[in-house]
């Protein structure tokens, strides 16, 4: 493949002569949807040029879509872009309501060719990469977390660069560690997390930004706080207690918390999180001074959350049985998140503070359990 070899030579020259600057190379690469994997492997794959008119809706693929966040995001994006323009994917079997609500496809992010086939056959233009092992589950299975969160991400980056996709990868408050400023934590500061989850997310931030600067990849990343949702279960994180308390409060009136009562962490209601994701994906390029932004809504401790729930359900009894792994993780994470750059650059604004969050969660779970009892 002479074109690929020629590109490889250009890339080598650019690396050997950094004084020339990489901008011309970046522009050339961007225009032909260059994939670093194609050049280094010398594969026979052809280049793809994806052109869409301004009025076309994006064609979106969501990986890891059956977790806490993916189904809600698919619903939001389908409302905006049309049901068939948003494909959910995962390695798990979808429940029937999800299967019947729009396109679903099997996709293992560790299988590069399968991913490429899906992107090509469905003419994907936006990729939302949700697959991951979260903080607590990751510590219990470091090898798998490393494979999914790091090797999987490499596949995603290469596919996105190769096919000129707009790529969203969420990061997290977990991308910070005990040596980061914790109250508040700004966008740019020391990031030395102590979990495989955090390490893999810092890696994702850096690799995405590198691909953006080096190859022109349209990479967008938000660092989410702990996300709280009523109709989807968290996948094994440190902030899961803040979801479980609502279910237990409604169903049993008792909750055993696995974090200490004064553990303060940034949190957000799922509707705010998903709206932020859509907004940053739709944002024009010009105001995006950075490619990775903190977003925040509120910060609270288990005790403060319990007090707010008890305003509605005064009989709720909360006890504490500390999980040492989760506690150590939480103690190394931000207590308050500084998201002023997101607010200034692309207009981020949250809707839900603690009282609205609690009211909304209890309404949702309460009505859900009343329906279940009636059936
Ligand atoms: N939920 C939160 O509080 C939160 C906070 C910050 C960041 N995030 C990030 O948002 C994203 C979505 O989070 P979530 O809470 O929905 O996660 P989750 O753990 O609930 O779901 C992750 C999904 O990834 C899938 N998956 C695992 N291995 C896979 C593979 N090899 N190929 C394809 N899919 C695979 C799982 O089956 C699962 O459905 C993650 O990247 C997470 O790090 C979440
Ligand atoms: C904070 C977030 O990344 C996830 N909910 C976790 O606790 O692991």
Q: Identify the CA nearest to 4 among candidates 51, 50, 36.
A: 36
**Is pLDDT of 45 > 90?**
no
- Report yes or no on 1 lying in a domain: no
**Is pLDDT of 324 > 50?**
yes
157 backbone dihedrals φ, ψ, rounded to 5°: -60, -45
Ligand 1 close to Cβ of residue 91 (< 6 A): yes
Check if the beta carbon of residue 90 is closer than 8 Å to that of residue 65.
yes
Position 367 confidence tier, pLDDT thresholds 50, 70, 90: confident
Q: How far is the CA of 70 from the centre of ligand 2 (A)?
A: 15
Ligand 2 close to Cβ of residue 239 (< 6 A): yes
Position 322 confidence tier, pLDDT thresholds 50, 70, 90: very high
CATH code of the domain containing 144? 3.40.50.720
**Is pLDDT of 23 > 60?**
no
From the list 130, 197, 215, 293, the catalytic residue is 197
- Report yes or no on 206 lying in a domain: yes
**Is pLDDT of 20 > 60?**
no
Closest-CA residue, ligand 2 atom 6, reads 237
Atom of ligand 1 nearest to the CA of 65: 39
Contacts of 113 (CB under 8 A, 6+ apart): none
For the question of residue 197 being annotated catalytic, the response is yes
**Is pLDDT of 80 > 80?**
yes
Question: pLDDT digit string (tens) for 346-362?
Answer: 999 999 999 999 999 99
- Report yes or no on 5 lying in a domain: no
Question: pLDDT digit string (tens) for 159-215?
Answer: 999 999 999 999 999 999 999 999 999 999 999 999 999 999 999 999 999 999 999
Ligand 2 close to Cβ of residue 330 (< 6 A): no
- Report yes or no on 177 lying in a domain: yes
Q: How far is the CA of 267 from the centre of ligand 2 (A)?
A: 10
pLDDT at position 56 is 78
Q: How far is the CA of 64 from the centre of ligand 1 (A)?
A: 6
Position 113 confidence tier, pLDDT thresholds 50, 70, 90: very high
Tell me the C-alpha distance between 174 and 134, whole Å.
9
Contacts of 41 (CB under 8 A, 6+ apart): none
Atom of ligand 2 nearest to the CA of 135: 8
The pTM is what?
0.89
Ligand 2 close to Cβ of residue 89 (< 6 A): no
- From residue 355, alpha-carbon distances to 123, 250, 283 in Å are 43, 17, 29
Helices (H) and strands (E) in the chain, counts: 16, 13
Average pLDDT over residues 5-21: 35
Position 36 confidence tier, pLDDT thresholds 50, 70, 90: low
| H-run or E-run covering 126 | strand 126-129
Q: Nearest ligand, CA of residue 237?
A: 2
Among 61, 62, 65, 67, which residue has the most ligand 1 atoms within 8 Å of its CB, making it the best to mutate?
67
Host domain of residue 304? 132-374
**Is pLDDT of 135 > 90?**
yes
Ligand 2 close to Cβ of residue 329 (< 6 A): no
Check if the beta carbon of residue 150 is closer than 8 Å to that of residue 200.
yes
- Report yes or no on 11 lying in a domain: no
The number of folded domains in the chain is 1
- Report yes or no on 265 lying in a domain: yes
Question: pLDDT digit string (tens) for 59-78?
Answer: 999 999 999 999 999 999 99
- Report yes or no on 71 lying in a domain: no
Tell me the C-alpha distance between 159 and 108, whole Å.
13
Ligand 2 close to Cβ of residue 68 (< 6 A): no
Average pLDDT over residues 93-109: 98
Atom of ligand 2 nearest to the CA of 235: 5
- Report yes or no on 18 lying in a domain: no
pLDDT at position 46 is 36
Check if the beta carbon of residue 290 is closer than 8 Å to that of residue 228.
no
Ligand 2 close to Cβ of residue 263 (< 6 A): no
Contacts of 142 (CB under 8 A, 6+ apart): 196
């Amino acid at each position: 493949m002479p074109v690929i070899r020629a590109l490889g030579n250009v890339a080598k020259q650019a690396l050997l002569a950094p004084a020339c600057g990489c901008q011309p190379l970046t522009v050339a690469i961007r225009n032909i949807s260059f994939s670093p994997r194609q050049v280094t492997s010398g594969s026979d794959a052809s280049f793809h040029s994806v052109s869409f008119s301004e009025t076309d809706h994006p064609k979106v693929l969501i990986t890891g879509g059956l977790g806490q966040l993916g189904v809600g995001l698919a619903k939001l994006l389908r409302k905006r872009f049309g049901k068939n323009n948003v494909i959910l994917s995962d390695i798990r079997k979808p429940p029937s309501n999800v299967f019947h609500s729009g396109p679903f496809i099997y996709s293992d992010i560790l299988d590069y060719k399968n991913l490429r086939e899906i992107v090509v056959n469905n003419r994907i233009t936006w990729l939302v990469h949700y697959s991951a092992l979260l903080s607590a589950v990751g510590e219990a299975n470091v090898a798998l977390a490393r494979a999914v969160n790091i090797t999987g991400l490499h596949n995603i980056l290469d596919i996105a660069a190769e096919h000129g996709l707009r790529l969203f990868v969420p990061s997290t408050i977990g991308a910070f560690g005990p040596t980061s400023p914790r109250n508040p934590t700004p966008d740019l500061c020391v990031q030395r997390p102590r979990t495989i989850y955090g390490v893999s997310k810092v890696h994702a931030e850096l690799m995405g930004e590198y691909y953006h600067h080096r190859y022109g990849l349209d990479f967008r990343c938000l660092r989410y706080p702990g996300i709280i949702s009523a109709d989807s279960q968290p996948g094994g994180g440190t902030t899961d207690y803040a979801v479980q308390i609502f279910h237990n409060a409604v169903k049993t009136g008792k909750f055993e918390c696995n974090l200490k009562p004064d553990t303060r962490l940034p949190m957000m209601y799922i509707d705010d999180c998903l709206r932020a994701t859509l907004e940053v994906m739709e944002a024009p390029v010009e105001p995006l001074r950075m490619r990775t932004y903190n977003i925040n809504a509120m910060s609270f401790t288990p005790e403060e959350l319990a007090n707010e729930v008890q305003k509605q359900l005064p009989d709720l009894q909360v006890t504490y049985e500390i999980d040492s792994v989760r506690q150590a993780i939480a103690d190394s994470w931000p207590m308050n998140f500084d998201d002023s750059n997101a607010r200034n650059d692309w207009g981020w604004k949250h809707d839900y503070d603690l009282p609205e969050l609690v009211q909304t969660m209890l309404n949702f779970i309460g009505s859900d359990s009343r329906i279940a009892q009636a059936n």
